[in-house]
Amino acid sequence: MSDPELEKIRQQRLAQLQAQHGGGDPNQAKAQEERMRAMEETKHSILAQALTQDARARLNTIKLSKPEKGAMVENMICRMAQMGQVNTRISEKELIQLLESVNQQMPKSASTVKFDRRRAALDSDDEDFYLTVLASAGRSPHADYLQELVNEHAFGPYISDNVIEDAFLDLPDLVRKYNYPFEEYNVTTEDGYILGLHRIPHGRDRNNKPGKKSVVFLMHGLFSSAAENVLMGPGSGLAYVLAEEGFDVWMGNARGTHFSRRHVKLNPDSRLNTDFWQFSWDEIGSKDLPAMIDFALAHTGQEKLHYIGFSQGTTSFWVLGSIRPEYNKKIISMHALAPVAYMAHSTNKLFNALAPFSSQLAGAANLLRFNELFRRSELISEIGKFFCSDGQPLQFLCSNMLFWIAGKNPDQLNTTMLPVITGHLPAGASIRQLAHYGQSIHGKEFRRYDHGAIKNLLKYRSIRPPSYDLSKIDAPVFLHYAQADPLAHVTDVDRLFRELPRVVGRFRMSQPTFSHIDFVWGKDAKTMVFDRLIVLMKAMEL
List the catalytic residues: 311, 516
Determine contact, residues 75/106, Cβ cutoff 8 Å: no
Measured in degrees and rounded to the nearest 5, phi and psi for residue 196 equal: -85, 125
- DSSP state string for 297-334: HHHHT-S-EEEEEETHHHHHHHHHHHHSGGGGGGEEEE
Q: Which residues pair with 430 in a beta bridge?
A: 372
Determine contact, residues 339/493, Cβ cutoff 8 Å: yes
DSSP state of 276: G
CA 424, CA 341: separation in Å to the nearest integer?
26
Determine contact, residues 289/314, Cβ cutoff 8 Å: no
Nearest to 351 by CA among 530, 478, 223: 223
- DSSP state string for 173-239: HHHHHTT---EEEEEE-TTSEEEEEEEE-S-SSSS-S-S--EEEEEE--TT--GGGGTTT-TTTSHH
**Beta strand 183-188 with 247-251: parallel, antiparallel or unpaired?**
unpaired
How many C-beta neighbours within 10 Å does residue 405 have? Answer: 17
Determine contact, residues 376/426, Cβ cutoff 8 Å: yes
Query: Which string of b and e fits 6-40 if b means at least 16 CB within 10 Å?
Result: eeeebeebbeebbeeebbeeeeebeebeeebeeee
Measured in degrees and rounded to the nearest 5, phi and psi for residue 504 equal: -85, -30
For residue 336, the surrounding DSSP H or E stretch is strand 331-337
- Which spans in 461-530 are helix H? 490-499, 518-521, 525
How many C-beta neighbours within 10 Å does residue 63 have? Answer: 22
Determine contact, residues 227/169, Cβ cutoff 8 Å: no
Maximum Cα–Cα distance for the chain, whole Å?
77
CA 507, CA 480: separation in Å to the nearest integer?
5
Nearest to 127 by CA among 145, 146, 105: 146
Q: At what angle do helices 92-105 and 53-65 cross, to 10 degrees?
A: 30
CA Rg, the chain, in Å? 25
